[in-house]
Amino acid sequence: MLMMGDFNYHATSYLTDESVDQELDTNNITSGAALHRHFHQILNTHFFECTHSREEGPLLPTYRRQNGQSTIDYLYASAFLFQHLHSSDIEFLDSSWTDHALLRARFVFSSDRQGSGLWRANPNLATNQYFTDQLFTALDEFFTTVEITASIDAAASILPASPQDNWDALKALVQDIARRVSRARSNALERQHRRLQRKRNRICRQYSDPRTRTQLLHTVEKQIGMLQREIATNLRLRAGKHWREKGETSAGYLKRTIATHAAKQAITSLLHPVSNTLCTDPLSMQTAASSFYDTLYSSDPVDIASIESLCNTIPDSDTIPDDAHTILQQPFTYADLLTGTHRTKFQSSPGIDGLPYPILNVIFNHPKAAKLSVQVFNDALNLGIFPSSWLQTCICLLPKSGDLSNLKNWRPLSLICCDAKIFTRLLNQRLMPFMNKIICPQQSGFMPGRFIGDNGMILHNTRLIAAETSSDSIALLLDQEKAYDRIHPDYLRAVMQRFNMPTNIIHSLLTLFFSTQIHININGHISTDYITQQRGIRQGDPISPLLFNIAFDPFLRSIHQDPQYKGFNLHTEAPPPSNDTQSDVISDSMQQLFSDAADPPIVPDGSTSSASSTTAPLAVKILAYADDTLVYLRDTHDFHRLQAAITTYMKASNALLNYHKTVATSLSGKPSTTWQALLSSYGITAWHDRTSTTPLIYLGYPICSSITQRNVAFQKLYDSIRNAIAIHSQRNISIRGRVTILNSLIYSKLWHVLRLTTFTKAQLLSLRSLGTAFINFRIFPRLSFATLSLPRSAGGLGLLDPLSQQQALQWYWVCPLLLQYLDSPAFSKYNTPSLPVLTYTLSWCYSSTVFSHFFYYLLFRHARHRLWFPQSPSRRNTYLNPITNLQSCLSIFQMSERRNLYVDAITCYSLPLYEILLHSPPTINNLYSSSFIPPNLLLDGSDVARKLLVSEVFQLDIDHQVLRVRPSFQFARHPIVSQRVADFIQSRQLLFQPFFAQQCFIAPRPTLNPHQPPSLRAFCRSIIVPPSSLPSRGRLPLNSIRYFKKLRQTLSSTSSSLSPLRPAQWLSFWRISIPLAARTVWYRAIYEKIPSRALLHLRIPEKHPSPLCTICSASTTEDITHTLFSCPPKLLVWRHMYHTYLSASSSISDVDLIHFFQQILLCSSPYLDRDLSLSFNDLSIPQLFATTLLTIWQAHWRWIFDRTPFIADTVQHRLARSLARLDAELKLDS
């Protein structure tokens, strides 16, 4: 255990009881004497001081204030740690950073559990001019030597060194230079820094006179500061350019800092795969790992007939055209190589050569090295000849779930040389545009434009239909053992040949992947022996996901194209009603995705028919995301066909199915003893239905068959978010940083789940409350959610609302539904693989003899009656109904209330009556606005009236092209209610929506065709086509969340009353570089969320009986202005800041001074003739204001909580230090 920090007193004065008593008596703190004595008894009995105890002579000072110095910082270690103490020291730190010293202690443990690992060159060397000069000089000498050697070899008829050997020799040279330069510079800095620190310590010990000591220390401390700034500059480059703000505003940075710890997990023990003994020391764990991976990467024989059978599933139409080979085999250029170094992550781990991408970029900028590298890359492409370093990898193990002593529960990640990864990345970029078109659409993993959520949407829709029809179908979640690591090279070669990939690329990839020498890294210990990889696709290579998809594709096709395999056939499971009048046309691209291969498309493009004949049968048989595979089973025949396909794939590729990890789920949710018995006989024992206590997890989505399971899924998510909030609440971050963390980290899993999971509004509101409480942690009065959720330009913080975000996440599916209905040319661009199943589900669930399309149900809330949609899903299935979320997304648009919307009379005639009525007072001034009565009140909430159609109250006058109230209701369905409605309309007590009202008056309009069907195109177009108010700058994809939010903003303009500043002022506020904590205080002050005593007395009078200020001891009420500005001691600080850093000569009254700073508080720019000769003239007035505000704020609360008096001189001193720190940080970051 370590106990360290600022003790704020001289700890050595408490070594004896007498000294304790004396110290306490002189300060008259008799009540605390026992507490101090007891604390120091524990401290001196169980801990040892690590820094001062190892120094001879007087104690070195650790704190300085002006000319005074003292020792108040200590580092204590427990007895166990103290015996391992190797060295310690006290170092001066640049005075512009802090007034404390740095205490450093080094502990050495005699343990061999952690090895040295792989050497890595510092990527910052790429920006070091000395390194690049040294490197280019060495490279010039290297190529001179190569040319001379080649000439001698040619004269002696000896084969010269190959380009690949020269490339490896060049990289070895770069490694040597990188090591030498790094060590030399690091050692020089360290030696000089140590020398200056020793010199400073000698001065502190030898000179007791403060004046002499201060004069001597000035020069030395200035030199130390210069060195420390250089060291800090290197650390800044390692952390990122804007390191002060990055931890608050960069979601990626926050995520990496958390993910890094999870990845760096030490291996404590491993189970030997042969002897089954537990290995704990490095050597035995290396032996266990080598044995395991030697077996894993040793290939088994494959069956040629099985390979041919799988390759035959790939039709000629799904192969790379011959004329594309020229593009794929085109030689790499110098520009390609440079692009490969720029498009990679700066933090990416290099391979055994230790050279990161930035240093490779420097190498490629040397003319002769660039020429050599181009030749090496093109030899690799055309001849399959590689540098030996490309054929060596080191695998490190990343933990998965399960018992971590079992090597099966570790993922082997290959550390590959960066130049080799540039080669495969360039090759992947060439192949992907062609393979993306021919890899079967059932594979959604790691292919451009394919989305994991489509698999979940398809599963949810099929489960909805299965639940409504009580289907017996099930689905299996297959689990492959080490799917990537078992692919056989002969099988992969055959599949790539069938896809008609160029022969030289096939040869190159197979040679690169299956001639690899693998070294294993266990806790930094690198194995000396290597394993030859005879099978398996190494994880960590840019092209590996594509190669796996290529290898797995024939298996997916073998299931999907099997005419005897039924799967989940939507037309069989849910036959369309014979009277269905839906007229959607599902395009050929959809049929290609889900239709049975044996049945060609029935309806040609552009034609229309009923849903029962629009497509060939939609059969969903298999879905995959990389190796996560979901298969549908109609009956036992399907299961046996699946067994045969799996066996064929295993024989062909060396794959292995884990039956004990495979999970079966009932699509309808009902139990099935028949299925369970059959599956158990094959070793599949995991079964899920509505009686299960927990939901099934598929690709991170909870699949629920009951409300209980849905609630369990929510509670788990709620607990996860609450725990994350509890952890992050301990961090000292600004209010903006909290929003960044909440939106991007804490809520990250929530956003994934909300795409498909239907939670109740109360549940989502509880998550919102968690988030709002996290943002308002230790803030009173609280900032409202309405304020926090506003965009930053409108005065908010951009806090995301789970309810609104779930609506936005549905836009991915709603957008193509609208485009499909509009027959838009953009539909092909935004079509999704799940749309055919979603369209069919909507058509089946919302088929109607009254309405012509399911969009009536989605768009109009008054149309959602089982009278009109008898097959709509029952309420008991709401928890698994994905359509509920789609309705929520569309509900924000309020179709009928849109102005400037033209809807023809025939369409108006087909609508529910309530959709054409005004439900709120008209926004314009007319005779009826003051006496407006909503339809519900006027009609006494009549349920019959809600189920009336426009056609039951109105008739279409074809001659005059208008809608008129029917003259008689004798033969109406509800004659009394219909007549009553007509009377209210004629008496103008029921008012119309604008789009309907214009169809009731004779006016010039397009001629109606009485035989044309109604169309909802006008409504759909009004949703997706941006209005004129939508900003056109920066074109957004139509299906993006940002586009949806832009549409939503046009519907409800942000209330200006919520924000005290204009957008330009808010933009200025967020751009100011100020201390992070200062921004929180300033933001709260703008909204007057400051806990003044007047406010506390008003809100909590029993705890705060007086509203008077306790600092100035005056009979003055402490309101917000008094808290921040006008309290006399605080006003002294503001006046000091004004005259010391802004204007020394000008005089200003207290009232004007307060007004001046209040203007700055509200981001105004009051006029001031600033004196630039004063200190900190590089800091802007808002920066000076923010730092002063924070310093006063902190001093105020030290008085409230610690009873530390608010003394203006002390606060002014702290202000000077804070300004110096801010100035130094900004200069360091510039």
pLDDT, tens digit (0-9, with 9 covering 90-100), for 290-303: 999 999 999 999 99
Collapsing DSSP to helix, strand or coil, 98 comes out as: coil
DSSP state at residue 834 = T
Q: For residue 178, count CB atoms less than 10 angstroms from its CB and return exposed for 0-12, middle for 13-18, buried for 19 or more.
A: buried
**What are the structure tokens assigned to 51, written together?**
């820094």
Give the DSSP H or E segment for 957.
strand 954-957
User: 480-490 b/e with 16+ CB inside 10 Å = b?
Assistant: bebbbbbbbbb
Nearest to 1132 by CA among 1157, 1150, 1113, 1111: 1150
Main-chain phi, psi angles of 522, to 5 degrees: -115, 105
Tell me if 590 sits within 8 A of 859, measured CB to CB: no
Query: What pLDDT is attached to residue 1031?
Result: 53
d(CA 443, CA 485): 19
Q: Which residues lie below 8 Å from residue 613, measured CB to CB, with a gap of 6+? A: 602, 603
Give the CA radius of gyration of the chain: 37
Query: What pLDDT is attached to residue 107?
Result: 86
d(CA 465, CA 1207): 74
Query: What pLDDT is attached to residue 921?
Result: 83
User: Residue 1163's CB: how many other CB atoms inside 10 A?
Assistant: 19
d(CA 143, CA 159): 17
Beta strands in 511-655 (DSSP E): 517-522, 525-526, 531-532, 568-569, 619-620, 622-625, 628-633
Query: What pLDDT is attached to residue 249?
Result: 62
User: Residue 937's CB: how many other CB atoms inside 10 A?
Assistant: 8
Q: For residue 1195, count CB atoms less than 10 angstroms from its CB and return exposed for 0-12, middle for 13-18, buried for 19 or more.
A: buried
Kind of pairing between the strands at 517-522 and 531-532: antiparallel
Tell me if 1110 sits within 8 A of 1100, measured CB to CB: no
d(CA 705, CA 656): 30
Q: For residue 1210, count CB atoms less than 10 angstroms from its CB and return exposed for 0-12, middle for 13-18, buried for 19 or more.
A: middle
Strands of the 73-78 sheet, one edge to the other: 2-6, 73-78, 47-49
Query: What pLDDT is attached to residue 253?
Result: 56
Q: Which residues lie below 8 Å from residue 276, measured CB to CB, with a gap of 6+? A: none
Amino acid occupying residue 747? Y
Tell me if 614 sits within 8 A of 603, measured CB to CB: yes
Kind of pairing between the strands at 686-688 and 663-666: parallel
Tell me if 635 sits within 8 A of 657, measured CB to CB: no
**CA dihedral of residues 412, 418, 420, 421 (deg, nearest 10):** 70
DSSP state at residue 627 = T
Q: How many CA atoms lie within 13 A of 146 on its CB side?
A: 20
* 180: alpha, beta or left? (left if phi > 0; alpha if psi -120 to 50): alpha
Q: For residue 571, count CB atoms less than 10 angstroms from its CB and return exposed for 0-12, middle for 13-18, buried for 19 or more.
A: middle
d(CA 1092, CA 1108): 9
Tell me if 737 sits within 8 A of 249, measured CB to CB: yes
**Angle separating helix axes 489-498 and 636-653, nearest 10 degrees:** 110
User: Residue 45's CB: how many other CB atoms inside 10 A?
Assistant: 8
Nearest to 1086 by CA among 1175, 1035, 1161, 1138: 1161
Residues of the chain with pLDDT under 50: 15-31, 237, 240-245, 259-263, 579-615, 926-928, 1033, 1054-1056
**What are the structure tokens assigned to 241, written together?**
């350019």
d(CA 19, CA 33): 11
Collapsing DSSP to helix, strand or coil, 654 comes out as: coil
Rounded to 5°, angle at Cα 149 from 147 and 155: 105
The residue extents of the domains of the chain are 2-107, 123-239, 307-395+415-456+484-554, 563-703, 707-807, 813-1016, 1063-1229
